[in-house]
Amino acid sequence: MSRRRSKGPRRASGRGMRELSVRVKTARGRKLSSTRWLQRQLNDPYVQRARAEGYRGRAAYKIMELDDKYHFLRPGGRVVDLGCAPGGWTQVAVERVNARGEKPGKRRGRVIGVDLKAVEPIAGAELHQLDFMEDGADEKVRAWLGGKADVVMSDMAASATGHRQTDHLRIMALAEAAAEFAFDVLEEGGTFIAKVLEGGAQADLQKRLKQGFEKVLNVKPPASRADSAEKYVVALGFRGASAEGKERADETGGGLHSS
């Protein structure tokens, strides 16, 4: 676990970061695949940057890059981070919505992080250990929130099986559960972000999101590894009550139109 400073991550210029490629010797008992993974980690510029700037992982830069482009983490915002371990996304959200109240003249936001694993405390965030896929989990999160959210973001991922289609179906189930929660708690105009994998079985989720949001995009931020199948669905401008009305109309055969 990382050692945390009370005032959050520190920024680095990058000049103190290692620039030389690191080679890892194959140790006795370590698989070749593990050695390759370790070497990639040691030479990954995002991993190096996260260490230098005090973030808990390279994933922090994925949500930064998405927010830099779409501007959904604003001071005063209320954010729910599903699958928050080890805490990189939560750290970024805390900074950008001013959850610690450190930005004079800016509204103070709120960040709730939820994960199956225990997460080391993050100043300004409320962290809860919970299996979001268990019965009644969404009600618990709603109770902790105590109102509406401006952003629901999910980096939840199931343990990989090595079978691509199975892994895809598992992560889509998590994204769909997160989307259902977002429909329940988002404020009108709110934003939903979720990790998905490239492949099939996305049509239902895409259709539901397009009914409920003004704009739905599929984005692969620069911080995502080029060889990874992950991407993020970004749904902007939640329609609120009007989205529920449109969905009911579609289910009964009314309100249909050609595009």
Three-state DSSP state, 133: coil
How many other C-beta atoms are found inside a 10 Å radius of the C-beta of residue 168?
18
**Upper half-sphere CA count for residue 89 (Cβ side, 13 Å):** 28
Question: In the block, which residue shows the tokens 């003249």?
Answer: 105
Closest CA to 239 of 218, 217, 208: 208
Question: How far is Cα 85 from Cα 205, in angstroms, rounded to an integer?
Answer: 24
**Token representation of residue 19:** 């620039």
> Exposed (0-12), middle (13-18) or buried (19+): which is 230, by Cβ within 10 Å?
middle
3 - beta bridge partners? none
Helix (H) or strand (E) holding 249: helix 241-251
Helix (H) or strand (E) holding 150: strand 149-154
CA–CA–CA angle 172, 238, 151 (5° rounding):
70
Which amino acid is residue 51, in one-letter code?
R
Annotated catalytic residue within 7, 140, 195, 207: 195
Report the DSSP beta bridge partners of residue 154: 82, 194
195 carries an active-site annotation? yes
d(CA 216, CA 205): 11
Residues with a known catalytic role: 195
